[in-house]
Structure 1
Amino acid sequence: MSIAPIPSMPDFGLAPGFGINPAYGVAAQVPHTDVSSVGRVEGVESFGTMLSSKLGQLDSLHARSDALAVRAVTGDLQDIHEYTIAANEAGVATQLTVAVRNKAVEAFNEIMRMQM
């Protein structure tokens, strides 16, 4: 009893852009993107600009909360709920920022542990 070989099927399992054919192993030519040819997309800000903007928004949330706290203590604030909401917004935004920072540090440390 013999088993017939599997007939070759052109590009079977070939994922465009990855060069891997799960049915027959790794393709001989793995396509690469030339980094110098990748341009900036108009209307999209850089990661650093976005990060700076979001940290500025976090700072303004805390400044607003602090200003409302001073107004609440001096008696100038009519509705104490306004301060409570602002303080909670600032607290939740800070917790989110710390969580994102911790995940980024964790990812960086994981990359540094990878073996080359």
Structure 2
Amino acid sequence: MSIGGIESIGGFMPLAAPVVSAPSTATAPTSGADFGSMVLDGLERLEGIQDSADTLAVRAASGTLPNIHDYTLAATEAEVATKLTVAVRNKAIEAFTEIMRMQVG
């Protein structure tokens, strides 16, 4: 499955970076959500996806889920969302580490 195909998974809303054009000066404000809010929003969505998969797992185990494929799809969606979140976290840590190695001066 390609990264471009993630959007087709029902209910999954990928973390979206704000669209920011190159500022004309160094002090020009940018529009869009700040990074911290985007991270918190993405984590809340991930938690919701995982909660949904957990609920369906309990229903499947108790025999009250009429279509087992609903759980299979939710579990796969939760797995993909978790992998994507971990990959973004790893890249952020890598970028932070690289920034900390930069010499000022």
TM-score by length of 1: 0.63
- Is the radius of gyration larger for structure 1 or structure 2? 1
Which sections of structure 1, spanning at least 5 residues, go unmatched? 1-30
- Asked if 1:85 corresponds to 2:73, the answer is yes
**Deviation for aligned residue 1:62:** 0.3
**Deviation for aligned residue 1:45:** 2.1
Distance 1:114 1:57 in 2: 34
- Aligned equivalent of 2:98: 110
Aligned length: 81
Q: Work out the percentage of aligned pairs sharing the same amino acid.
A: 52
- Asked if 1:100 corresponds to 2:88, the answer is yes
- Aligned equivalent of 1:63: 51
| Higher helix residue share | 2
Partner residue of 1:39 out of 15, 18, 29 = 29
Q: CA RMSD in A?
A: 1.8
Larger RCO (CA within 8 A; separation ≥ 6)? 2
TM-score by length of 2: 0.69
Which sections of structure 2, spanning at least 5 residues, go unmatched? 1-23
